[in-house]
Structure 1
Amino acid sequence: MLKKLIVLAALLVPACFANAHEYNAGDIHIAHPWSQELPPNAPTVAAYFVIHNNGQTADRLLSVASPISGKAELHEHVKQGDLMKMQQVPSVDIPAGGDLTFAPMAYHVMLLELKDRSLLSDGKHFPLTLHFEKSGDVTVDVAVQKKAPDGMPEHAHAQ
């Protein structure tokens, strides 16, 4: 009996960790929030995640906040001529039943005026609160990593 319990526990542990980086707010599902390790002397850092809207109506990400920064802004990359340009956006629409990927070279969260750089090294975590128009607020735990997590794009294109 004890052997069966140990086997069952061993099978369930990976499932627990797989869901540890997923969050819900109303109809909104947020998967694996992450940030790249902060290079020395970098003045800002970006955060990424995937938002899925399980609802039948669109929602909007209005703003973000984190205690590790004085300012947090929503940004996107856009192509202007032959150049990619980063620009702040006031909000981001999440279509009904749709996904929106925040990734390098796409939508992302810029954290400015960093207060606690000690949380921005590989293996650390920091909180990020997302404010949605319809689904309300949700605080996620952002995992700091040396590179994009498996299954996440190294970069994406803004939609």
Structure 2
Amino acid sequence: MTLQRITRPVLFAIALFAGQAHAQGSAPVAVEGAWARASVQGQKATGAFMRLTAKDGARLVRVETPAAGVAEVHEMKMEGDVMKMRAVPGLDLPAGKTVELKPGGYHVMLMDLKAPLAKGSSVPVTLVFQDAKGTESQLPLQLPVATQAPGAAATDMGHGAAHGQKH
């Protein structure tokens, strides 16, 4: 295959993978399966999801992005027979254990979106971690924007409905 025959989406995927692999080389936390849910015109919030594994244990203390006015880690859980969502001040990442941020559980909320997140684009997100000594480290990522998790069945509609998204 010659370089002229490589399409833009393929180049984007290669650049995205290379960027994440490079960013994680010295990072205390590995990130897998990261993505952000696409939004539509007028929609002011969406979610981002991923799997985080801290080598020595850490805490996700902050999320930053220029794409939204507010970025927070949220938790969804049942209280009685009501599903509730709330911001959490941080998310513990026990050493060597994978913590999944997914629809219906812990996730990143991107609120007060500056513009819609279009399917097939990417959104810059920086995760800020704190180790046991209180030292902060940042992990910049480019999250691919999609309507569902890579490889997910089309029936996962739970998270979008909780945030008023149309599918």
TM over 0.5: yes
For the 8 Å contact 2:36–2:123, the answer to whether it is kept is no
Percent of paired sites with the same residue:
29
Q: d(CA) in 1 for partners of 2:28 and 2:62? A: 17
Q: d(CA) in 2 for partners of 1:104 and 1:38? A: 15
> What residue in structure 1 maps to residue 45 of structure 2?
44
Q: C-alpha displacement at 1:19, in angstroms? A: 4.1
Q: C-alpha displacement at 1:107, in angstroms? A: 0.7
CA-to-aligned-CA distance 1:31-72 (integer Å, 9 cap, x gap): 1320121134222011111101222xx210001010011111
Partner AA of 2:77 in structure 1: V
Q: C-alpha displacement at 1:27, in angstroms? A: 2.5
CA-to-aligned-CA distance 1:77-106 (integer Å, 9 cap, x gap): 011011211111000000011000111001
Q: d(CA) in 1 for partners of 2:152 and 2:30? A: 17
- Per the normalisation by structure 1, the TM-score is 0.77
Partner AA of 2:130 in structure 1: E
Is 2:122 aligned against 1:121?
no
Partner AA of 1:77 in structure 2: M
Q: C-alpha displacement at 1:26, in angstroms? A: 2.9
> What residue in structure 2 maps to residue 9 of structure 1?
none
Partner AA of 1:137 in structure 2: Q
Instruction: Give the structure with higher Rg (CA).
Output: 1
Question: 1:51 and 1:151, CA in 2 relative to 1: closer, same or farther beyond 3 A?
Answer: farther
- Per the normalisation by structure 2, the TM-score is 0.73
For the 8 Å contact 2:37–2:146, the answer to whether it is kept is yes
Q: What is the number of equivalent residue pairs in this alignment? A: 141
Q: d(CA) in 1 for partners of 2:67 and 2:28? A: 27
Q: C-alpha displacement at 1:146, in angstroms? A: 1.8
Q: What is the 5 A alignment of 1:1-159?
A: 17=14, 19-20=17-18, 21-22=20-21, 23-24=23-24, 26-55=27-56, 58-117=57-116, 120-134=117-131, 136-150=137-151, 154=156
Q: d(CA) in 1 for partners of 2:149 and 2:34? A: 11
Counterpart of 2:66 in 1: which secondary structure?
coil
Structure 1 unaligned blocks of 5 or more: 7-12
